[in-house]
Amino acid sequence: MIKEVAKEIKRANFCIALTGAGISTESGIPDFRSKNGLWSRYDINEYGYLDSFLRNPKKVWKMLLDMIINFRDAKPNPAHVALAELEKMGYLKAVITQNIDDLHRKAGNKNVIEFHGNFSKLYCMDCKTIYNINDILTKIELENLPPKCKCGGIIKPDIIFFGEAIPRDALIRSFDLANKCDLMLVIGTSCVVYPAAELPIIAKGKGAKIIEINKEESMISHIADYKLIGKAGEILPKILEEVKNLP
Ligand code: NAD
């Protein structure tokens, strides 16, 4: 099936990728819903919602620190690198990612839409001053969480909690790409979080082919034209090799 998928990628006029937490597990970042995922350690209701953050920012910041230090130290894995190479070769037009870990950019992808924000940017919830994660991490004191702005406001990472709106620009651009593409690679996402999970359904409705790469079946497996079950870090480099070898 790898060869067929490589042919589809070469044939496509406008191929894009939608990625989720699963593409980064091989970089040492746990996903949310797998057996050892984040939600097995932290209760989604107590940590995952904007309300949770507003109610108890100190407690949620402890989880955020745990995540952020992991993100900061993580390196792109062969799946990220293969996508960057496909973009460089002109076959992949954009990556829409639900991830906040910055690994697609670190791998070299230029056209990345971050649907749920990026951990490395933070802002003051009152005066909206922007901060960089390295500035915050050097000053942060565990006993003094949450970090505060000079104005006294609480600093929040620029990431989307459940109950928060998707950034307008990311939403418009992603839906536009889903409408326009003729091939979508759906990689390492359970497709249970909306509205991101709608993107493959929109693309399929417009006639695009769907290639799914996942360790297991997901909520969109039934609409996939090709299902590659396994690790993204093993499958994507093989697809890339095949794309390079095809005439
Ligand atoms: P999810 O946890 O719901 O699903 C992950 C999916 O990836 C599962 O279907 C799993 O089978 C698959 N998977 C796991 N390892 C894989 C591998 N090596 N190769 C291929 N597939 C693999 O994640 P999601 O669908 O992205 O859910 C949504 C939320 O999780 C997003 O909002 C995202 O912001 C957030 N999240 C992001 C990160 C990150 O930035 N790396 C980490 C955890 C959670």
Residue whose C-alpha is closest to residue 187's, from 76, 35, 28, 21: 21
pLDDT value of position 41: 81
**Residues with beta carbon inside 6 Å of ligand 1?**
20-22, 24-26, 29, 31-34, 37-38, 98-101, 116, 188-190, 192-193, 213-216, 218, 231-233
- pLDDT tens, residue by residue, 81-136: 999 999 999 999 999 999 999 999 999 999 999 999 999 999 999 999 999 988 88
Please determine, for residue 139, whether its predicted confidence score (pLDDT) is greater than 80.
no
**193 Cα to the center of ligand 1, angstroms:** 10
- Atom 2 in ligand 1: residue holding the nearest Cα: 32
116 is catalytic: yes
pLDDT value of position 176: 98
- Atom 26 in ligand 1: residue holding the nearest Cα: 20
Query: What does the alpha-carbon distance between residue 194 and residue 215 come to, in Å, rounded to a whole number?
Result: 21
Looking from the CA of 14 toward its CB, the CA atoms found within 13 Å total 11
What share of the chain in percent tops pLDDT 90? 81
- Atom 23 in ligand 1: residue holding the nearest Cα: 21
Average pLDDT over the chain reads 94
SS3 call for 144:
helix
Query: What does the alpha-carbon distance between residue 59 and residue 133 come to, in Å, rounded to a whole number?
Result: 18
Two tokens, residue 172: 């418009």
- Atom 20 in ligand 1: residue holding the nearest Cα: 214
| 32, 229, 238: residue to mutate for ligand 1 pocket, most atoms within 8 A of CB | 32
Please determine, for residue 36, whether its predicted confidence score (pLDDT) is greater than 80.
no
Q: Tell me the average pLDDT across 205-215.
A: 98
pLDDT value of position 97: 98
Helix (H) or strand (E) holding 211: strand 209-214
Please determine, for residue 53, whether its predicted confidence score (pLDDT) is greater than 90.
yes
Superfamily the domain 30-73+120-159 falls into: SIR2/SIRT2 'Small Domain' (3.30.1600.10)
pLDDT value of position 167: 92
Contact (CB, 8 A) for 50 and 44: no
Query: What does the alpha-carbon distance between residue 169 and residue 73 come to, in Å, rounded to a whole number?
Result: 28
pLDDT value of position 209: 98
Q: Would you list the domain boundaries of the chain?
A: 1-29+76-116+166-247, 30-73+120-159
Two tokens, residue 64: 């955020």
**154 - beta bridge partners?**
148
| CATH number for the segment(s) 1-29+76-116+166-247 | 3.40.50.1220
Helix (H) or strand (E) holding 131: strand 130-132
Two tokens, residue 84: 């960057």
Two tokens, residue 20: 């989720």
Q: Report CA torsion sign: 166, 194, 20, 155.
A: positive
Contact (CB, 8 A) for 56 and 225: no
Query: What does the alpha-carbon distance between residue 163 and residue 173 come to, in Å, rounded to a whole number?
Result: 21
- pLDDT tens, residue by residue, 149-192: 999 999 999 999 999 999 999 999 999 999 999 999 999 999 99
Please determine, for residue 140, whether its predicted confidence score (pLDDT) is greater than 80.
no
Two tokens, residue 125: 């919830």
